[in-house]
Amino acid sequence: MVGPALTPSPAGGVALENANPLIYRRQGERQVTAREEDDELPDAIDDREIFDLIRSINDPEHPLTLEELNVVEQVRVKVNDAESTVSVEFTPTIPHCSMATLIGLSIKVKLIRSLPERFKVDVHITPGTHASEHAVNKQLADKERVAAALENAHLLEVVNQCLSGRP
Amino acid sequence: MKDSLTLLSRIPAHPDSRCWFLAWNPTGTLLASCGGDRSIRIWSKEGDAWVCKSLLGEGHQRTIRKVAWSPCGNYLASASFDATTCIWKKNQEDFECVATLEGHENEVKSVTWAPSGSLLATCSRDKSVWVWEVDEEDEYECMSVLNSHTQDVKHVIWHPNQELLASASYDDTVKLYREEEDDWVCFTTLEGHESTVWSLAFDQSGERLASCSDDKTVRIWRQYKPGNEQGVVCTGTDPTWKCVCTLSGFHTRTIYDVAWCHLTGALATACGDDAIRVFEEDPLSDPQQPTFTLTAHMASAHSQDVNCVAWNPKEPGLLASCSDDGEMAFWKYQRPEAC
């Protein structure tokens, strides 16, 4: 998809870009309402449900989730079930994070795989939090380049590693 | 406006994958489709039904992004993410891969034949446009590599009757090329779009070019030759191409394709909001500042993004479209009475 931005970090022996990231508390489990337990009633997909799909994605560098690094937050998820749109803003841990495109791609792939096909999934960097915000956003929005990236076996493996939930 | 576009049929052309692009042969009897399943299908009409006549399954290792027919209709070229372009020769109903064009560093995004049939152009994510020469023995030789774009090149298209080539890019520009002393040169860059330019279409005369973009607009560019009455400044002997109209506010997401009908002048767009729209030029508007009216808006034309629209070259108003949902649809467009 891109050159360096999507090259996975070499394993071991290399200094991490952000060696000591702040770690945030995880949210509790979703409170299930009586309406949601009633299988007869239709449930629209809500922000929390989208957040639950992406919160446990692994960071490519650290043995931590995107939620623990505050890369994703429920308040930065906007879903409109009636219009079939989902918008997610994510916040790289540092403004020069070279993993930003890979993280965004992982979020996008997770949502595309999990949601009904009618959904339009837009993934952006939280405004003002990354030096190459515009370039990263443009790449993530280009479905042709995303499709080509996902035909690259090596890159797909890295994305799948980020998406493999911890036991 | 509601009844101006009617669905004739809908076909799962590339099930379980994207259908990326469609191309009519010059006589309008065959339609080629290609997609994420790495195959090309050739469709023709039998009675009222569109039937798959050939499946071109071998040839590419990855997604086939676009296909293009030669002007004689005997050859089909296919551009693939596997970095190659295949040339298929038609023998009765079968197609045989007679050449594989290699050289691009990564995904080939588009391919197009010159009106003479002796030149072919390809473009790639490697930022280059290649011009290939075809000889009588079906040998293809690269005669020029054009590196004018600074980003991924999305689309290439030849002028309908001149040896003039246009390309559209992720760098938000359109570039035009012509031959100069056995080499090809970029003679102008059309700037104005604010994001990726996805596709291009010349009108029937070739005097005008439509471009569509991720910025949700369509722009109409017009050629002004040196010494034009309008006083548009030209450098040397090259014409100047100027944006004379911007269609904005009609599309809610990326516009992936534009098709300008050479029979009727109707302009169709394929949009990421699942809709197909058709525009017509107002007959009384000033050619130097034309205005266009939206004459058809088919919301949910497909269940996902529309990737391509293609007017049949012989049957006025017959439009084919395809989508990320893998389907292909045929539409009858009828200009509303009021137009």
- Interchain proximity A145–B152, CB inside 8 Å: yes
Answer yes or no: is pLDDT of A83 > 90: yes
pTM assigned to the model: 0.94
Q: Give me the pLDDT at residue B150, please.
A: 98
Instruction: Give the residue from B64, B65, B68, B43 showing the smallest Cα distance to B55.
Output: B43
| Residue B2 binned pLDDT confidence (cut-offs 50, 70, 90) | low
Contact residues, chain A, for B109 at CB < 8 Å: 144
Whole-number average pLDDT of chain B: 96
- Helix axis angle, A133-141 to A143-150, nearest 10°: 80
**A151: nearest CB among B62, B196, B305:** B62
Q: Give me the pLDDT at residue B1, please.
A: 59
Task: State the number of CA atoms in the 13 A half-sphere of B94 facing the CB.
Answer: 4
SS3 B69: strand
| Mean of pLDDT values over B33-49 | 96
Q: Give me the pLDDT at residue B338, please.
A: 60
Q: How far apart are CA A73 and CA B186, in angstroms?
A: 47
Angle at B314 between CA B309 and CA B315, to 5 degrees: 75
Q: Give me the pLDDT at residue B38, please.
A: 97
The H-or-E segment that residue A101 falls in is helix A100-114
Answer yes or no: is pLDDT of A81 > 60: yes
φ/ψ (deg, to 5) at A139: -65, -45
Min Cα separation B307/chain A (Å): 10
Q: Give me the pLDDT at residue B182, please.
A: 85
Query: Residue written as tokens 């559209």?
Result: B168
Q: Which residues contact A1 (CB under 8 A, 6 or more apart)?
A: A101, A105, A139, A145, A146, A148, A149, A152, A155
Contact residues, chain B, for A151 at CB < 8 Å: 62-63, 81
| Mean of pLDDT values over A91-115 | 96
Angle at B178 between CA B173 and CA B183, to 5 degrees: 115
Q: What is each CA distance from A164 to A92, B1, B194, in whole angstroms?
A: 20, 49, 37
Count how many pairs of residues, chain A against chain B, have C-beta atoms within 8 Å. 39
Q: How far apart are CA A133 and CA A155, in angstroms?
A: 21
- Interchain proximity A144–B65, CB inside 8 Å: yes
Q: Check if the beta carbon of residue A98 is closer than 8 Å to that of residue A17.
A: yes
Answer yes or no: is pLDDT of B163 > 70: yes
Q: Touching check for B66 and chain A: CB below 8 Å?
A: no
Among the ranges given (A18-27, B66-75, B312-321), the one the predictor scored with the smallest mean pLDDT: A18-27
SS3 B202: strand
- Interchain proximity B81–A138, CB inside 8 Å: no
φ/ψ (deg, to 5) at A150: -75, -5
* Partner A, chain B 86-115, Cβ-Cβ below 8 Å: 106-107, 109
Q: Check if the beta carbon of residue B41 is closer than 8 Å to that of residue B71.
A: no
B255: which strand partners?
B271
pLDDT tens sequence across B280-335: 999 999 999 999 999 999 999 999 999 999 999 999 999 999 999 999 999 999 98
**pLDDT above 70: percentage of residues in chain B:** 99
Q: What is each CA distance from B253 to A83, A153, B209, B274, in whole angstroms?
A: 13, 30, 21, 9
φ/ψ (deg, to 5) at B251: -110, 140
Contact residues, chain A, for B62 at CB < 8 Å: 148, 151
pLDDT tens sequence across B166-178: 999 999 999 999 9
| Residue A1 binned pLDDT confidence (cut-offs 50, 70, 90) | very low
**pLDDT above 90: percentage of residues in chain A:** 69
Angle at B56 between CA B54 and CA B57, to 5 degrees: 130
Min Cα separation A33/chain B (Å): 31
Answer yes or no: is pLDDT of B235 > 60: yes
The H-or-E segment that residue B155 falls in is strand B153-158
Other beta carbons within 10 Å of B291: 12
| Mean of pLDDT values over B237-242 | 96
Instruction: Give the residue from B202, B317, B326, B191 showing the smallest Cα distance to B264.
Output: B317
Q: Check if the beta carbon of residue B27 is closer than 8 Å to that of residue B71.
A: no
Q: Touching check for B257 and chain A: CB below 8 Å?
A: no
Q: What is each CA distance from A142 to A88, B10, B101, in whole angstroms?
A: 16, 27, 26
| Mean of pLDDT values over B42-57 | 95
Answer yes or no: is pLDDT of A7 > 70: no
- Interchain proximity B109–A144, CB inside 8 Å: yes
Q: How far apart are CA B48 and CA B315, in angstroms?
A: 15
| Residue B40 binned pLDDT confidence (cut-offs 50, 70, 90) | very high
Other beta carbons within 10 Å of A83: 11
- Interchain proximity A117–B62, CB inside 8 Å: no
